Structure 1
């Protein structure tokens, strides 16, 4: 498994010859980012890496997707929603490549209420099927959504960012309605033992959120806490999580705690110490250190910075 991580900065650097609707210059930590484009320049092989961003692709053209070590031949219209933590690459097998893609970072996905339902769904999970082949009706519907994204991105409409988020939601709803990802919720017995454990860990982690009151702090914050709740040895849990996602259990837990910290800082009137305590930090200094190390700024700086309008 590749241990490399492709960032949004890497993505745009490798495609510097392509013009995008939205600026690619300001990709600083903590800032929401979204872009959309056509696939007419996607006739090259991408690296087999994990990503630090989400990407949804409507594929026309033949190619091979290497996803988590498995090969999938795509030879007809398809929609691709890979899990960023699973390494994957794309190799074109035909000269004609077309379609669309949109990409966005964790902040864009986390900070808007429209996406709450998808955070609880199987979308973008390591065990989910990343590809769905489309019939003509599905293809036409999704093609229309992406066409509207492109038109909206280049428009002067004052509420275009809200409209773009709604269009992304429609694409993801279509994926859930018409494909095996939605069905996988009732077919957990078809998953491998390792995938079932990872799925249970992920569900247990996300069931703790959102947090509603500083008086009701997190109860599970360490790999040992989750291993105990799942009735497995912590070393086994750590091995399974690392082997499938390429990340440590601790990294995944801290990442989710950081997401919730940002949400609470932006959407509540709790003071910094209350936010930290709710997330399991009894000492405000420990919360400040944790947040600054992960986000590159203190919780107070983040709150003040992000209160300014963003897309």
Structure 2
């Protein structure tokens, strides 16, 4: 399952204090040694990761596997993994011998520096790529040097250390982009189950919407397919086989459920509810709601009150 921890939850779960000196910076960066956080007595535990909170670059050393919605990548020795908030994955250790290092950072760690770097536009963070790169012994030496240098800089009092850390992260990114990805092995038997599970979880994570300043961002089958890094036709096929209904029907049903909650339990007007749920205007939302329930939003609200 995907872990949805925030940065604060990540530190708490791993019994690591959130350093004030980092929290006060615009953006966030930190680096860790896997062995110091990894529980050797429970090597089946998945390393915490949050799609919402941060990016992650990991030097993996040990036998493990990386699971995406429709593929599994086996790591037998050393590998470099790039993780983006846009694509869910699980890292699953196969034994207790897990070392290496990883760094986590937010998008504004770069953007706040006025570097002009948009992380999601870089190849290693694109949904169509498999960002797990096998490392030779020579490459491991080079990658370890970069991670160790970042770790050393984090402990320094150098005035411009965060500028240097950004440069080192970009060096890792460019290094990875020159490598060939490990072949992703299709796991047909379990892929459909993972896709269905991840889709439902991603759908549920869009809710609740607690403020009229929020807005539902994922509304179409393609929106979800892009986030899951699968083709929209494949997503439709998997969900149809699993549930007997289409992706669009599932999404619409969930949006309608949320609309009913808002009409019944908030004092938001129809225009506000329409906006929050991602509709262009109140008329479009009213037509949608009536098609789903046979009631107009206003008449449903009156029935709920009665």
TM-score range, shorter chain: 0.5 to 0.7
1:24 CA drift (Å): 8.3
Contact 1:84 1:124 in 2 (8 A): no
Change (3 A) 1:101 1:160: same
Deviation at 1:70, TM superposition (A): 2.3
Q: Which has the larger radius of gyration?
A: 2
User: Structure 2 vs 1, CA of residues 68 and 246 (structure 1 numbering), >3 Å: closer, same or farther?
Assistant: closer
Which string of whole-angstrom CA distances, capped at 9 and with x for unpartnered residues, describes residues 106-129 of structure 1?
Answer: 211322344627553212122221
**Unmatched 5+ stretches in structure 2:** 40-44, 183-216, 230-275, 277-306
Structure 1 residue 93: Cα displacement? 0.9
Corresponding residue of 2:8: 9
Are residues 1:39 and 2:34 paired? yes
- Distance in 2 (CA, whole Å) between partners of 1:128 and 1:147 is 27
- The answer to whether the 8 A contact 2:154-2:161 is kept is yes
Contact 2:6/2:50, CA 8 A, preserved across alignment: no
Deviation string, structure 1 residues 18-53 (Cα, Å, up to 9, x no partner): 467x448848xx941110111112243236863421
Residues 35-80 of structure 1, C-alpha deviations (whole Å, 9 max, x = no match) = 0111112243236863421000001111121123422221110000
Secondary structure of the corresponding residue to residue 84 of structure 1: coil
Deviations 1:258-298 (A, max 9, x none): xxxxxxxxxxxxxxxxxxxxxxxxxxxxxxxx9xxxxxxxx
Q: For 2:140 and 2:176, locate their aligned partners in 1 and report how far apart those are by CA, in whole Å.
A: 11
1:65 aligns to what?
Answer: 66
- Equivalent pair of 1:12/1:24 in contact (CA under 8 Å): no
Q: Distance in 1 between matches of 2:31 and 2:6?
A: 16
- Counterpart position of 2:135: 134
Cα shift at 1:171: 0.7
Change (3 A) 1:10 1:87: same
Question: Cα–Cα, structure 1 residues 134 and 113, in superposed 2: closer, same or farther, change >3 Å?
Answer: farther
Partner of 1:256: none
Measured against aligned partners, the alpha-carbon deviations of 1:129-164 in whole angstroms (never above 9, x if no partner) come to: 120001122111111000000111111222211111
Aligned residue number for residue 227 of structure 2: 245
Q: Where do residues 1-311 of structure 1 align in structure 2 (5 Å cutoff)? A: 5-16=4-15, 18=16, 22-23=19-20, 26=23, 31-40=26-35, 41-43=37-39, 44-46=45-47, 50-114=51-115, 116=117, 118-180=119-181, 238-245=220-227
TM-score between the two structures when normalised by the length of structure 2: 0.54
Whether contact under 8 Å (1:114, 1:169) holds in the other structure is: no
Deviates more, 1:45-54 or 1:171-180: 45-54
Alignment partners' CA distance in 1, 2:33 and 2:147: 9
Alpha-carbon distance in structure 2 between the residues aligned to 1:56 and 1:90: 12
> Aligned with 1:102: secondary structure?
strand
Deviation at 1:11, TM superposition (A): 1.2
Rounded to whole Å, the distance in 2 between the matches of 1:26 and 1:112 is 16
Q: Secondary structure of 1:87's match?
A: coil
The answer for the alignment partner of 2:193 in structure 1 is none
**Structure 1 regions of 5+ residues with no counterpart?**
182-222, 224-234, 248-289, 291-311
Whether the 8 Å contact between 2:22 and 2:28 is mirrored in structure 1 is: no
- Secondary structure at the residue paired with 1:59? strand
